[in-house]
Structure 1
């Protein structure tokens, strides 16, 4: 019974989170995480004209050869840059978003992440970014086992975020 209640409580948060209608923005910010589906999706959004720049979180730094290559070879008509968040968490990404938004005078961003992370990312990022925040879901094929694990992981992340000060 407890497992059913936990699953039901998390359903609107993790499985059917609020998605935003995308409009042109100052930047597309790609949050780090497992899988590479989100990066081509963000690039496609930029190719469609949603933003003149894509900013990629690369928590692994130079150890992630694919992302290092993506950011070091400008091959698009838009700008692609990477950063390594400190700390290597969504809060670190939110702090970097805040810094970049102030520096670049961004008023709107599209943030790309995967479905189970959308609500928590919105909560954390909105504590650091005062502009218009549009969250886009990247494609991802998640197994049942991964959904179980992500319920636990995202819930722990919510608790940690609630206990931490905002930017």
Structure 2
């Protein structure tokens, strides 16, 4: 008989992040990027009464990287039935870490206690760990849920990359930014998941 292999903290954290249990929240955090592929998930969550607010986070316009401006994404959300008064634009951030800092700052100001993070499936792990790091650093009891966009495919060239290759790049970035102290550790993500589920 072969030896039993023990799951690593990374493998456990990935499984938990990828299969989070979403509960009613205060705001849906729609991360800028990936063209128009993310906003339908935010709309779906809003229409399912998961949260009563949507925050579009990001201030970049870079079509070659898939960063479409808020002004181009907003009409699609309005057309899908989301009222303008429940959509907020966080426009200061220029990268994922800044998005986390600005969104958590906004959440503290508005006393939002539960957030649902919307990123593309290949970006979700780094995004979640980045937001979690900011929450842990400020010692806040904000509960962060993860609701990645699904059914995006892995091998088609989007014009700003192939998701399979982008996934590999994301894990390289996780290692790089972890060394800089910008991400929660896999162990922290596991402990946070346990705490979150027992609330």
TM-score, scaled to structure 2: 0.65
Q: CA deviation at 1:74?
A: 10
1:151 matches 2:168: yes
Contact 1:126–1:133 (8 Å) recurs in 2:
yes
1:110 to 83, 94, 116: 116
CA distance in 1, matches of 2:96, 2:17: 17
122-131 vs 44-53, greater mean Cα deviation: 122-131
Match of 2:95 among 89, 98, 113: 89
**Kept after mapping to 2: 8 A contact 1:112/1:137:** yes
Counterpart secondary structure, 1:106: coil
| Structure number, greater radius of gyration | 2
Provide the C-alpha distance between the structure 2 equivalents of 1:13 and 1:165, rounded to a whole number of angstroms. Answer: 17
Please give the per-residue CA displacement for 1:11-61, whole angstroms capped at 9, x wherever unaligned: 877799532111100100011221322101111111110111000123325
Aligned ranges for residues 47-126 of structure 1 at < 5 Å? 47-60=47-60, 64=69, 65-69=71-75, 76-77=82-83, 79-86=86-93, 88-126=94-132
Counterpart for residue 44 of structure 2: 44
CA contact 1:27–1:52 (8 Å) conserved in 2: yes
Check the 8 A contact 1:120/1:158 in 2, yes or no.
no
* Deviation sequence 1:92-119 (CA, Å, 0-9, x none): 1100122111100111100011122222
User: Cα 1:13–1:35, aligned 2, differ >3 Å: closer, same or farther?
Assistant: farther
Higher strand share: 1
Aligned residues: 156
In 2 relative to 1, CA 14–149 (structure 1 residues): closer, same or farther, beyond 3 Å? farther
Work out the CA distance in 1 between the residues paired with 2:33 and 2:14: 16
Q: Normalising by structure 1, what TM-score?
A: 0.76
Secondary structure at the residue paired with 2:134? coil
1:141 to 2:161 alignment: no
